Amino acid sequence: MGPERFNRVFSVLMSLNVEGAPRVLSDLVLCDTEHMDEHLFLDPFATEPAPADPPAPAEPSHPVPPISEHTTRHVDIPLARDRTIEAFTEYPHLWWPLERRLTGPEGHLGFVGGELLEEGADGSEHVWASIVSVSPGVLRLNWRGRAVSEPVDRALTVRFDSNDGQDRTAVSIESDDGELVQSWSGLLEGFARFTGGAPI
């Protein structure tokens, strides 16, 4: 209730000699206060709080590496580099795991005419890879894998790094295709068993 309204009501009540005028005025003031806008009691200099930032999305507990991530696998071979390369390229039919062959235990694998070729006893053939380039200690392949129809070539590099002053060689495979590297892990293990090596 504003002061002017209060004075008018007070004057009317007093002129009429209304009994209990002070109590009536008190009730009017209380009633008016109950209906006052609550914003009248706020600090006029207060500023609205800034909106809270939305919560950041939770990070996955095990981030998934991208498919294009460069990946390697290694095995340590207790042979000089020349002998390691010879074992790898001349005797794949001896170190290639039987469960990974397409033509069965009677099949034969070897590098023939620039290809890694598997030949079955029935005359069937399967090209696992083609040679892209050969340089000292490095063999680059286009890998086709087990695909028979519409094969997709995937780049694979095999490196043979000799340890200084030791008859040991680190054989590593490299590719931007993580699935290919994972698939080759079993082949490297077969080569390591054949040569008496062990994974690094």
pLDDT tens column, 67-101: 445 588 889 999 999 999 999 999 999 999 999 99
In this prediction, residue 200 has a pLDDT band, given cuts at 50, 70 and 90, of low
Q: Is the dihedral of CA 156, 68, 178, 171 positive or negative?
A: positive
Position 60 pLDDT exceeds 70 = no
Give the model's pLDDT for residue 197. 86
Position 61 pLDDT exceeds 90 = no
User: What CATH topology corresponds to 71-199?
Assistant: Alpha-D-Glucose-1,6-Bisphosphate; Chain A, domain 4 (3.30.530)
Which of 56-60, 68-72, 145-149 shows the lowest per-residue confidence on average (mean pLDDT)? 56-60
Give the model's pLDDT for residue 147. 76
Helix segments in the chain, DSSP class H = 3-15, 21-34, 81-90, 92-95, 178-195
Position 53 pLDDT exceeds 70 = no
Average pLDDT rounded to a whole number, residues 151-179:
88
Calculate the CA 155 to chain-centre distance. 21
Give the model's pLDDT for residue 11. 61
Percentage of residues in the chain having pLDDT higher than 70: 62
Give the model's pLDDT for residue 105. 87
Cα-based angle 120, 77, 114 (whole degrees, multiple of 5): 40
Give the model's pLDDT for residue 39. 46
pLDDT tens-digit readout, 4-45: 655 565 565 555 554 555 554 455 444 444 444 444 444 444
Average pLDDT rounded to a whole number, residues 54-73:
53
Q: For residue 63, report the phi and psi dihedrals to the nearest 5 degrees.
A: -55, 140
Question: Which 3-state string (H, E, C) describes 60-114?
Answer: CCCCCCCCCCCEEEEEEECCCHHHHHHHHHHCHHHHCCHHHCCCCCCCEEEEECC
| Closest by Cα among 127, 121, 116 to 103 | 121
The pLDDT mean for the chain works out to 77
CA atoms within 13 A on the CB side of 126: 22
Greatest distance between any 2 Cα atoms in the chain: 129
**Hey, where are the domains in the chain?**
1-56, 71-199
Give the model's pLDDT for residue 112. 95
